[in-house]
Amino acid sequence: MRAAVTATSRYLPKQIMTNHELEKMVDTSDDWIQSRTGIVERRVVSEGETTSDMCTHIAKELLERSNSEPNDVEVIIIATVTPDMPTPATASLVQNRIRANNAWGFDLSGACTGFIYAVDTGSRLIESGKYKKVMVIGVDTMSSVLDYTDRNTCVLFGDGGGGIMLEPAKNDENGIIDSILRTDGSGGDYLKIPGGGSLHPASHETVDQHLHYIRQDGKVVFKYAVKGMADISEDILIKNNIESNSIDLYVPHQANKRIIDSAAQRCGFNDDQVYININRYGNTTAGTIPICLDEAVELGKIKEGYLILLAAFGAGFTWGSMLIRWGK
C-alpha cells in the first residue's frame, strides 16, 4: 500500500521585498542578485506573523481540499528550522488551532531537505497501515534568522511554505514510489545558525555577535549543492529504471537557479519539465517544494497520473529525492 497525495496547499505572506529594497540595505544590486541566484523578489511576514500562523492557514486549507474533518487527521508533521519557539513544537500549536483532537505530531528539522524527509516519514506511517490521514507541512520564516547587514545571506531567503495531505492510495499505481535520503554532518559548519541552542545559549554576547542569524560559506555550499542535487536526482532515476523523458515534472528545491539548471541538465530535462518559481519567492527553506507543488497543481502542470520527481539539498548537509505518481 502506497501513500497518495490527496490535497495540496500553500501560503505566502502578502509583504513583498524586492532586490531594489535590498540595494538600500546592503552593498548589492538587482543585477548581481538576479545573475547569481535568479531571485527578483521574496515574501516577508508582517509584524507578529509567525511560522505557526502560516502552518495553520495551510492546515485549514488542506482539511477543506481533502474533504476532511479536523478529527480525521491522525498525525501532523511540520518541517521547519524556524519554529515559533524551541518547545512546544509548531505541530502542537497547529493541532490545537485546527482542533485536530485525535492527532499527534512533531516538528522535523531537515533544513531545505526537511519537506522531503517529512513526506517520507509520513508515507511510512501510512504504509504501516496504522494511519489513514497524515498532514505534512513545510514552512519557514527565514526573515526571523536573517542578518540584514550580511549581503551573503539576506538576499537569498524568503518566508512562506505549503503542505500536503497523505492518505492510502486507492489506485495501486499512484502515490509515493521511492525516495533516497542522505545526510553528511561533516558539512555542518558551512551553513548554520550557531546561537540559541545548548552550545551557545542566548545571552547578551550571542546577540551582540549575531550568532542567532544564519551563516554560510557560500562557495562551499554552492559546490556541494550543485553535485548533491544532481547526483540524488540522477540516482533515483537510475535506481527505478526511469528515463528522463518519462518525468512529467521535476520539482527541485528553490535555492539558486544555477543549481537547478545544473541538476536539470545532468538529468536531461528540458525547460518544460522543470518547475521554477525562485524568481518570485527566493529560498523558503522547507517551504519551497510544497509551494511549487500547489502552484503546479493550480496551473495544470501536475495532473492525475503524472510522474513527479522532487529533489533538495540543504544545511546539515542534507539532501534527498523522491518519486511520486500523482493521483489518489
Please answer whether residues 302 and 308 qualify as being in contact, where contact means their C-beta atoms are separated by less than 8 angstroms: yes
The answer to whether the Cα torsion of 221, 224, 227, 229 is positive or negative is negative
At 38 the three-state DSSP class reads coil
- 301 backbone dihedrals φ, ψ, rounded to 5°: -85, -15
Active site residue 283: yes
Query: CB 178: neighbour CB atoms within 10 A?
Result: 13
Please answer whether residues 25 and 154 qualify as being in contact, where contact means their C-beta atoms are separated by less than 8 angstroms: yes
Active site residue 253: yes
At 41 the three-state DSSP class reads strand
Instruction: For residues 145 and 140, give the distance between their C-alpha atoms in angstroms, rounded to a whole number.
Output: 10
Nearest to 218 by CA among 91, 28, 88: 28
Number of helices and strands in the chain (H, E): 10, 13
Catalytic residue among 57, 154, 174, 253: 253
Catalytic residue among 154, 174, 283, 292: 283
Catalytic residue among 112, 154, 267, 292: 112
Nearest to 160 by CA among 48, 29, 14, 293: 14
List the catalytic residues. 112, 253, 283
